[in-house]
Each structure stands twice: as structure tokens, then as C-alpha cells.
Amino acid sequence: MKQINIKLLLGCSALMLAGQACTDLTETTYDVIPTSGTFGSTAAQQAALIGPLYNGLGDYYGNMSNLNTTTDEQIVPTRGGDWKDGDNWKRLYQHTWDPITDNGQFNGPWTWCYNNITKINQQLGTISDVKTKAELRALRAFFHYQAMDLFGNVIIADGTGSGASKQSTRAEVFAWVEKELLEVYPNLSDVSGGAYYSRMNKYVADMILAKMYLNAQVYTGTPRWADAITRCTNIISSGKFQISGDYLSNFSTQNQNSPETILATPFDKSKRGGMNVQMKTLHYLNQLTYNIGTAPWNGWATVTEFYNSFDDKDIRKKQWIVGQQYKADGTPLKDDALDMVFRPEIESFTFDAGANGRLAGARSQKYEIQKNNSFTDQDNDFVVYRLADVYMMRGEANFRLGNVGAALPDFNIVRKRAGMPDYTSATLTLDEILAERGRELAWEQHRRQDLIRFGQFTKAWRFKPASQAYRQLFPIPKDQLSLNPNLKQNPGY
């Protein structure tokens, strides 16, 4: 069980900041809303109020993981009648999603961003403490950045005024997010971990800016490679983070103390659910492998070619499950008459009912599967940003500026941990950088952004023909178009 003060998403850490002692027996009244001039009038009390606002950050995984099916690293085959879902997963994978039919896939992330932005705006009006206000503005900027990345021309919601909000261009939103983060940066904390685990601080702001600058040519038409290097260097030179000696330890059930994590969204199987990747990827009978309370759903797998991009000597290949599966006592499992052997090969997007289709595809165990767990959720925290990504971003930016000598050490730090040979000036190429980012960051929800930056998102891959350029942006949800007459649909839709 994780220490309760780690779980800021539950609001507990923030409440501790209010300074209430466990031996204080003063009766508390819960049926009266505090009025102005009572609770929230001090800096400590204002800090306590922000805890619940971080709960929305915990929905990052749930909103982004489905959209990862639009990439070449995640596939949800139709196995008989299972995961048919009106061909929803097939349309995502093949880039044929429809703004009307698939509205729910896009309205969820949109409302995730803007519902959280609205809550932050409402709270900001009550905050006077400079540091607390800076933290909330940085969190608000994060949600704007996500909306901009997914949908392009979106709303800058920086107040609580009434009326329909106007739509801004992607470049305008980029400039606003950048301005917000740079303005609040001096007042953000330089503490990482502890009370600032899973919260906005200087290093998370650096990471958001680095991601924006790395993709600036996509967002605005103007590259910002040097600025990306600066922000990555801020994080690396701080000395606050280290590359974990064990790759998979970053994703263990108790991963809250990983020295590599810059931002995570905390989960707890009984107190803050939502981490359920094991249910999505494991076979029904893997319930007997891990002695878990509910049979998994046998859906998500990785694309064959993506699995095959891992060298057998690459430690990171251990994140995939292939081969014979066993009960917890070591007895080999069978699916009907077939040995229960996961094979990397996925021969078709749509399989007939039966064991053959149920066993197709390598499954993910990147996030440690929690044994003897009676819940469908797990305790692993989802890692949004970590140091290995920072090294690779800085390496890529240097490479694109022609400074291969500076790029090599950054990539080779990551390669060494993976047990792979160093890159040389002859072996490090843009194609190899994209492939290495895929191997290191698989299923961490960065792939779509990377494929777009490298001009590969619309190419053909297994079971997917080449798609149109406009698919690099998702459609503005029809629900939002109906609610706000100022919103215009993205071209192509």
C-alpha cells in the first residue's frame, strides 16, 4: 500500500499543508460553505484548496490511452465478437474515424481538458498567494497544451466570463501557453518529489516547454530546436533526477519513488482507480497466471512490426509478453485445445471466433501486473514525463541542428541502460531516433506526437493504408460545435 501522503490526487497531501494536527479535537462543521475571509485566507489554506484540482490530472492515462490506437505501436484486433465495438477500434487504427460516429472518442479528451481548466479558473479567483497561483496557472497551461496538441485550433480559457468563447489558432494557443509558463516559472517550486510529487514545479514547466519547442515546427511552422535544448538542459543539470538502473522499475506497482519520474499521475487500486492496462491487454485466462480477482478483457496488443523492432538483447523487450502462459502454480495453460502461446504475429485485423485469434499479438507488461489483486485497478502510478525522454529530446534537437557530437552521449545514456551498443555518427539517423524513442517510450502516449513530428503518422503500416494529412488533428467534437457557435471544424472533417 502506498503512503497516503504520496496520493495528492486524493487531496490528502494538500490538506496536510493546512497544518492541522492529528491531536486537534476541535469540532469541524461540514455543512457550511466557508465564506470569504474564513478558510482560504492564508497561503497554507490556499495551498490546501488546490489538492482536488489535481484529481483531473489523474485522467490523463484514461483519455490518452485510447487515442494511442491511432499509432503503429498499439492495435486492438477484433477477436470474434470481442472488441468489435461497431468497428470503433478499427477506424481509430486505420485513420478512418468519423466526427459523428466517433464523437465520444474525441469529446472525452476535449471535456477532460476544459472541465479541468474551468475548475482551475474558478479557484484562481480566490487565490492571492503568488506561489499557489503560479502552480495553478501552470496546471491550466498543461491542459491547454494537451488540447492544442490534439485538436489544433482551440479555446484559450483564461477567465470565468460568460458567453461563447472564441476559437484561437494553434499558433496563438502555443504563444499563450508559452507566455503563461514563462511568467509563472520564477514562482514555481524547485522541489521534486515528496509534497511536490505529481504537482507542477519548475521541472514540469520545463518539460512542457521542451515538448512544445520540440514540436514547434508542427504547431507554428517555425522550429525551436535550440529552445528545446535549453529546457531539457535545465532539467538534466538540476541534478534532481537520475536514470533508473532498472528500466522496468519505473513502472513497478510501487513506482512512486522512481528517481527518473518528472511527472506522474498517482493511482491506488482502492482509493483512486483508473490504472487498468492489465485488464485491457491480458488474455481472460491470465487471471490464473496472476491470481487476480477478475478475468481480463483480451484486447490490446502491439503491432507485429513494432514488436520486431526490438533486438533480442534489448532489455526493453521484456515489456512484452510472448510464448507459453502458465497458471500461478506453473501448470501450462490451454485455450480450448491450443496451448496458450502468445505469438507476436497478428495475421489479420479481424479474426473468427476461437483460440487462434485470441492468442494473436504480444501483450504488455511494462506496467508491472499486480499479483493477487482483487481489484480491476492497480497501484502503479502512470508516468507522464521522465528523464530518459529528456535526454532523447535534447539529443534529437542537437541532431537536427547538425550537432551530432552532442547528440550521441544523450542517446547512449539511454542505450546503455537498455543493454544495447552505443550509437556512432554513422548509425544515428533520424529514422533510428524515431525507432529508439518507440522502443524506450512504448505505450507511454508519446508515439502519435513523435510520428507527426517525423512525418510518419499518415504513412501506411500493417492493416492501415496511407491516410490524409488532415488526420494529424482530431476533429472538434460535434457536441462542442453544437454548444459553441464560435467553433469551426478542422479542415477535412
**Domains of the chain from N-terminus onward:** 4-269+383-483 (1.25.40.390)
Phi-psi region of 295 (alpha: psi -120 to 50; beta: other; left: phi over 0): beta
The identity of residue 81, as a single letter, is G
pLDDT score of 162: 66
Output 209-214 pairs: Cβ under 8 A, ≥24 positions apart: 209/178, 209/181, 209/182, 210/235, 210/390, 210/393, 211/145, 211/393, 211/449, 212/145, 212/174, 212/177, 212/178, 213/397, 214/393, 214/396, 214/397, 214/453
How many helices, marked H, and strands, marked E, lie in the chain? 19, 10
Q: Which residue spans within 332-480 are E strands per DSSP?
A: 334-335, 338-339, 341-342, 350-351, 363-364, 382-386
Query: Cell numbers of 43, please?
Result: 497561503
> Which amino acid type is present at position 459?
K
| C-alpha to C-alpha distance for 348 and 280, rounded to whole angstroms | 19
144 contacts 173 by C-beta, under 8 angstroms: yes
Residue type, 85: D
50 CB-side CA count, 13 A: 30
pLDDT of 159: 87
Contact 113, 144 (CB under 8 A): yes
Evaluated on CA atoms 336, 342, 346, 350, the torsion sign reads positive
Contact predicate 120/144, CB 8 Å: no
Give the span between the Cα atoms of 58 and 9, in whole angstroms: 7
Interatomic CA distance for residues 105 and 200, integer angstroms = 27
H-type alpha helices, 333-445: 355-358, 387-400, 404-417, 430-441
Q: Report which residue type is found at 5.
A: N
Q: What is the full per-residue pLDDT of the chain (493 aa) written as tens digits?
A: 454 334 444 443 333 333 333 333 333 333 333 444 566 667 677 667 788 899 999 999 999 999 999 999 999 999 999 999 999 999 999 999 999 999 999 999 999 999 999 999 999 988 999 999 999 999 999 999 999 999 999 999 998 666 679 999 999 999 999 999 999 999 999 999 998 999 999 999 999 999 999 999 999 999 999 999 999 999 999 999 999 999 999 999 999 999 999 999 999 999 999 999 999 999 999 999 999 999 999 999 999 999 999 999 999 999 999 999 999 999 999 999 999 999 999 999 999 999 999 999 999 999 999 999 999 999 999 999 999 999 999 999 999 999 999 999 999 999 999 999 999 999 999 999 999 999 999 999 999 999 999 999 999 999 999 999 999 999 999 999 999 999 999 999 9
pLDDT the model gives residue 50: 85
Residue 374's pLDDT is: 98
H-type alpha helices, 28-169: 43-49, 60-67, 88-94, 103-124, 130-151
